[in-house]
Structure 1
């Protein structure tokens, strides 16, 4: 078992929380884990990417080679495009359709989505809308995590346990809201993959 994941987005969108939750679940499954992060200027909406490698055998390198990612999980559509060269021919792209427009020449959203839709395997989800319907727009990253779980070789219940562990200090209401966001994202992906 091996899963190589590129997590991409913009500072403040919860990429590192996603990585922590998946990492917690992987460690509790006695899997090996390597992670490398690049932080942009997060206070100013800079790009953030994390390479997350999970396997049942030892992992030699932190970084995922070009063309080898099993999954690109992007909480921002333009960032999904940036990392397409990392996607393996059998990999999935799971992206939020809500843009984070942080530059004056941000491309047209329909052009970005058209490029993503050229991929043979993708899920495009309006995670911000789903999170708002659940009651907390800030949970869009956990909606995205849920949408990615059909393509991660870890049982969803283990990832839910990771959510509980990561958010438990924030109280039961926060945990429950994030579990609801996770389940909504997962349901969307299972219906639309």
Structure 2
């Protein structure tokens, strides 16, 4: 098993929480993991990118080569497009459709949507709305993780177990809210895949 994943978004969206959930689930399955946060984490609103490399055998580098990513998971649509040159020819993009307009020359939303729609393998969802519908407006990152789950080759139950462990210190209500958002994203992705 080998899976190379780029997580992207802007600071404060919860990219590192997604990485932590995936990492804990991967390690619980006895797989190898290398992770690298590449830039932007120290600034709220700055771009954030994290490389996750998962394998059943030794991983030599923590950075994914251009054209080598199996999956881009992005909490911000422009950020998903920023890393397309890292995506393999048969790779997937799973992205939130809600922009974070934090620069004066942010691309036109219609052009952004058109470019995303033109990708051969893409799951687009309003993760923010799914989180709100699950009564957990701060859990858009977990809704997005749920949407990516069918493409991760990790049992959803392992990811849910990881969510429970990571958020346990915040109380059962927070755990359940994050699980509800994760499940909402998972169901949305399954419906898109069935079309």
Q: Which residue of 1 aligns with 2:3?
A: 3
Corresponding residue for 2:133? 133
Q: Does the alignment pair 1:25 with 2:36?
A: no
**Aligned pairs, number:** 193
Q: CA deviation at 1:155?
A: 0.6
State the alpha-carbon separation in 2 of the partners of residues 41 and 6 from structure 1.
15
Q: CA deviation at 1:39?
A: 3.4
**What residue in structure 2 maps to residue 122 of structure 1?**
122
Closer/same/farther in 2, CA of residues 164 and 44 from structure 1, 3 Å limit: closer
Q: SS of 2:106's equivalent?
A: coil
Q: Mark the runs of 5 or more structure 2 residues left unpaired by the alignment.
A: none
Question: TM-score, normalised to structure 2's length?
Answer: 0.97
TM-score, with structure 1 as normaliser: 0.98
Distance of aligned partners of 1:123 and 1:61 in 2 relative to their CA distance in 1, 3 Å threshold: same
1:100 Cα offset (Å): 0.5
Question: Which string of whole-angstrom CA distances, capped at 9 and with x for unpartnered residues, describes residues 13-57 of structure 1?
Answer: 000000000000000000000000023164441000000000111
Separation in 2 of the partners of 1:121 and 1:180? 25
1:65 maps to 2:65: yes
Query: In 2, Cα distance between the equivalents of 1:151 and 1:95?
Result: 13
| d(CA) in 2 for partners of 1:113, 1:146 | 21
Where in structure 1 do 4 or more consecutive aligned residues deviate above 2 Å?
41-44
| Partner Cα distance (1:14, 1:174) in 2 | 15
Structure 2 residue aligned with 1:102: 102
3-state secondary structure, aligned to 2:139: helix
Match of 1:147? Answer: 147
Instruction: Verify the 8 A CA contact 2:6 2:72 in the aligned structure 1.
Output: yes
Shifted more, 66-75 versus 132-141: the winner is 132-141
Quick check: 1:174 aligned with 2:136? Answer: no
The whole-number CA distance in structure 2 between the counterparts of 1:50 and 1:160 is 21
CA RMSD of aligned residues (A): 0.9
- Residues 143 and 33 (structure 1 numbering): CA distance in 2 closer, same or farther, change over 3 Å? same
DSSP-derived class of the 1:143 partner = helix
